[in-house]
Amino acid sequence: MKKSDWEIPTNLQPDPDDYPYDLERTLKGVVSIKSYVPGDAFTANSLGTERAGSGVVIRDSGLVATVGYLITEADTIWLTAADGRAIPGHALAYDQETGFGLVQALGRLDLPVVEIGDSESVKVGDQVVFAAAGGRRHAVETRVVGRQEFAGYWEYLLDDAFFTAPAHPFWGGGALLGKDGKLLGIGSLILQQGDGKGRRLDMNMIVPIGHLTPILDELLTYGRVNRPARPWLGMYATENDDDIVVGGVADGGPADKAGIRSGDRIISVADEEVTDLAGLWRRIWASGSAGADVRLRLGRERGPVPVTIRSADRAAFLKSPRLH
């Protein structure tokens, strides 16, 4: 289904009369993003060579905030406004730790700027709007149903993330707007969780905008945050009952070269037992900066196996944005 073929059910769309700001105008500050990635890019197999989502205009200069996986290794980006105008864009930065991406429009957007809000003040139960590009028919009135740590299988961890329900079906790069119309976060994922009664609850995971504000100037200046890169293994891990299990490895990445394979159970890192994903990533990152050796103890059919992996900087595997 194309984005142009759908709309949020009317009863779930936000009613402009319920908000003290100009909702229709603010939603024009959410644009569509279409990116094209070379077939030989490192993330082409996992994320695809054509990616689509949304972004939010955060400066008059045409700066757009989005979720980083939409633009990672992209050499062509198009931003489309609600009125159908298409403007080329350039991938300025992608922060590995937070997951934010920045795009610079290469032409005049002439769109409202969505002011950055105070995500620290968000509380569970708050009514918010989650909007993809396309105006009110692509926006859902939702609530914050959780605010807690989030660990992703791809070596990703946020100490603080928002979870909203009902979920938006096109979440990537969407804008989470507070009651005052200010930007509280950027959409990243959709998750499913049982409610204990056999029913499934779909939620969006939102990266709070407060994670972007302290690093924004460095991303604009250097294209990345000026800090040592974390050790990256290229390893995908999941929690399975009481075990942490390797679900796969990135081809040619450090874990792949070290012989890590799907089905391996991760018992410990540097002789310290790990019992959940958050603990796993924290222990790996505590090994030092990118390039440090990471010592794992794996569970296999024949018994525990020690493995040492020479970590890397993930950015070194990625294509840099093409200069325009």
Q: CB-based burial of residue 26 (10 Å sphere; 0-12 exposed, 13-18 middle, 19+ buried)?
A: buried
Looking at residue 197, its pLDDT comes to: 73
At residue 3, does pLDDT exceed 50?
no
Tell me the whole-structure pTM to 2 decimals: 0.94
Mean pLDDT of 140-160: 97
Looking at residue 193, its pLDDT comes to: 79
Both tokens assigned to 209? 């905008």
Looking at residue 105, its pLDDT comes to: 97
User: What is the torsion angle, in degrees rounded to the nearest 10, for the CA atoms of residue 23, residue 82, residue 37 and residue 175?
Assistant: 0
Convert the pLDDT of each residue in 18-29 to its tens digit: 999 999 999 999
Dist. CA 160–CA 73, nearest whole Å = 27
- At CA 292, angle to CA 151 and CA 257, rounded to 5? 80
Convert the pLDDT of each residue in 303-317 to its tens digit: 999 999 999 999 999
Residue 161 burial (CB count, 10 A): 22
**Domain 119-211 grouped into CATH 1.10.10.410:** no
Looking at residue 241, its pLDDT comes to: 86
User: Mean pLDDT for the chain?
Assistant: 95
Q: Are 68 and 188 in contact (CB under 8 A)?
A: no
Convert the pLDDT of each residue in 266-310 to its tens digit: 999 999 999 999 999 999 999 999 999 999 999 999 999 999 999
Same fold, 21-113+216-222 and 119-211: yes
Q: Are 232 and 312 in contact (CB under 8 A)?
A: yes
Dist. CA 103–CA 47, nearest whole Å = 18
Looking at residue 201, its pLDDT comes to: 87
Of the pLDDT bands very low, low, confident and very high (cuts 50, 70, 90), residue 320 is confident
Convert the pLDDT of each residue in 226-238 to its tens digit: 899 999 999 999 9
Mean pLDDT of 16-45: 97
190, containing H or E segment: strand 183-194
CATH code of 235-317, in short, is 2.30.42.10
Percent of the chain with pLDDT over 90: 90
Of the pLDDT bands very low, low, confident and very high (cuts 50, 70, 90), residue 5 is confident
Percent of the chain with pLDDT over 70: 97
Mean pLDDT of 122-144: 97
Looking at residue 196, its pLDDT comes to: 65
**Domain 21-113+216-222 grouped into CATH 1.10.1040.10:** no
* For the chain, domain boundaries: 21-113+216-222, 119-211, 235-317
Of the pLDDT bands very low, low, confident and very high (cuts 50, 70, 90), residue 1 is very low
